[in-house]
């Protein structure tokens, strides 16, 4: 399904980029004989902006895939939480059972992303100002690098927070998403180091493998090898999806161990002593 949606979504982009490349004697060879990122960057700076989406319907297909993945997340997390293979009916039942909860979480997530978007805008304005007033050309580069690290850190924390809220909603059958977010925030505050490292190291492995595939595509793959390029692209996408599923499985397993440890550490409630029969008769 993802391949079909990707084909439909890419048709409009191909129709927009093709006329520009047909009349470009410099950029077209750099994209035909290799995958040149600088050539792609030059396309974004052209006045006609061929990489910009002018038809909103092009966004429909990525949105459909995102909705499908949101629907499937409930069944995936339920499968991880039970640590057993669910039947087809159980899987799709879990998907439908948790779907509207996750839709509410997406709305909360969109609201939580607003400060990060504002921060990106402020950083962009500061970068332009530093580039204008600074004598050294590296000042804006250092500022951009530092701002990118800070924004990336905040984005990872936000993503991890909502990931744990989804895990809590499935594992504890929490129907109130604001309560799941509060519980996930407290969980992250008390266990930030292990959770952040769990998320970061899996992301680093996935990014490295994806970058390795991109490097091979740019440096070693011949443009005439259409089938090889298609297969390599599919492998890269599968690696990225597998990385995300690995993160979700690790988060669910971590929460299960954390929950079991807390339950075992809680002392049992005292059992009242039996009342002697003679006292009861008096």
129-156 tens-digit pLDDT = 887 777 777 777 888 889 899 999 999 9
Q: Report the C-alpha gap between 246 and 203 in whole angstroms.
A: 9
User: Does residue 78 belong to any structural domain of this protein?
Assistant: yes
Q: What is the pLDDT of residue 267?
A: 60
Report whether pLDDT(172) > 70.
Answer: yes
pTM given for the model: 0.75
Q: 160: how many CB neighbours lie within 10 A of its CB?
A: 20
Average pLDDT, the chain: 80
Burial class (CB in 10 A: 0-12, 13-18, 19+), 143: middle
160 and 223 housed in the same domain: no
Q: Report the C-alpha gap between 233 and 79 in whole angstroms.
A: 28
Q: Domain boundary residue among 174, 190, 206?
A: 190
What is the band of 187 on the pLDDT scale with cuts at 50, 70, 90?
very high
Q: Report the C-alpha gap between 121 and 143 in whole angstroms.
A: 14
Report whether pLDDT(264) > 60.
Answer: yes
216 and 150 housed in the same domain: no
User: Does residue 235 belong to any structural domain of this protein?
Assistant: yes
Contact 183, 168 (CB under 8 A): yes
Q: What is the pLDDT of residue 279?
A: 47
| Range(s) of the domain holding residue 185 | 66-190
Mean pLDDT on 230-253: 90
Can you tell me whether residue 39 is helix, strand or coil? helix
168 and 81 housed in the same domain: yes
174 and 73 housed in the same domain: yes
User: Does residue 272 belong to any structural domain of this protein?
Assistant: no
Q: What is the pLDDT of residue 199?
A: 94
Q: What is the pLDDT of residue 1?
A: 56
155 and 238 housed in the same domain: no
129 and 183 housed in the same domain: yes
User: Does residue 262 belong to any structural domain of this protein?
Assistant: no
160 and 226 housed in the same domain: no
24 and 94 housed in the same domain: no
The pLDDT tens digits of the residues spanning 63-109 come to 888 888 899 999 999 999 888 888 889 999 999 999 999 999 999 99
Q: 73: how many CB neighbours lie within 10 A of its CB?
A: 21
Q: What is the pLDDT of residue 56?
A: 56
162 and 224 housed in the same domain: no
User: Does residue 120 belong to any structural domain of this protein?
Assistant: yes
Which segments of the chain does DSSP mark as H helices, in order? Answer: 2-22, 27-32, 37-44, 60-82, 88-112, 114-133, 138-171, 177-190, 192-219, 226-265, 277-281
Q: Domain boundary residue among 168, 190, 212?
A: 190
Q: Give Cα 252 to chain centroid, integer Å.
A: 16
User: Does residue 233 belong to any structural domain of this protein?
Assistant: yes
Q: 79: how many CB neighbours lie within 10 A of its CB?
A: 19
Q: What is the pLDDT of residue 269?
A: 54
Mean pLDDT on 274-281: 52
Q: Domain boundary residue among 190, 218, 238?
A: 190
Q: Report the C-alpha gap between 187 and 13 in whole angstroms.
A: 43
71 and 140 housed in the same domain: yes
Report whether pLDDT(4) > 80.
Answer: no
234 and 148 housed in the same domain: no
User: Does residue 273 belong to any structural domain of this protein?
Assistant: no
Number of structural domains in the chain:
3
174 and 246 housed in the same domain: no
User: Does residue 96 belong to any structural domain of this protein?
Assistant: yes
């Amino acid at each position: 399904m993802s391949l079909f949606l990707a084909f439909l979504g890419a048709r409009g982009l191909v129709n927009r980029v093709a006329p520009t490349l047909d009349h470009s004697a410099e950029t077209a060879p750099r994209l035909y004989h290799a995958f040149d990122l600088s050539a792609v960057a030059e396309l974004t700076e052209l006045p006609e902006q061929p990489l910009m989406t002018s038809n909103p319907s092009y966004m429909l297909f990525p949105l459909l895939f995102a909705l499908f993945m949101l629907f499937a997340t409930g069944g995936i997390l339920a499968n991880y939480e039970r640590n057993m293979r669910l039947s087809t009916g159980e899987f799709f039942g879990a998907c439908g059972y948790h779907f509207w909860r996750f839709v509410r979480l997406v709305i909360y997530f969109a609201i939580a992303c607003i400060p990060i978007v504002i921060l990106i805008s402020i950083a962009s304005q500061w970068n332009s100002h530093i580039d204008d007033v600074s004598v050294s050309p590296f000042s804006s580069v250092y500022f951009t690098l530092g701002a990118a690290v800070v924004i990336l850190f905040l984005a990872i924390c936000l993503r991890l927070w909502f990931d744990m809220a989804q895990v809590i909603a499935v594992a504890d059958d929490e129907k109130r998403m604001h309560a799941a977010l509060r519980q996930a925030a407290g969980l992250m505050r008390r266990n930030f180091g292990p959770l952040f490292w769990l998320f970061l190291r899996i992301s680093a492995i996935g990014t490295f493998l994806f970058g390795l595939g991109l490097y091979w595509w740019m440096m070693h793959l011949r443009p005439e090898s259409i089938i090889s390029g298609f297969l390599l692209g599919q492998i890269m996408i599968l690696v990225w999806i597998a990385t995300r599923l690995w993160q979700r499985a690790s988060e669910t397993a971590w929460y299960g161990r954390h929950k079991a440890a807390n339950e075992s550490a809680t002392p049992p409630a005292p059992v009242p002593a039996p009342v002697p029969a003679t006292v009861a008769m008096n």
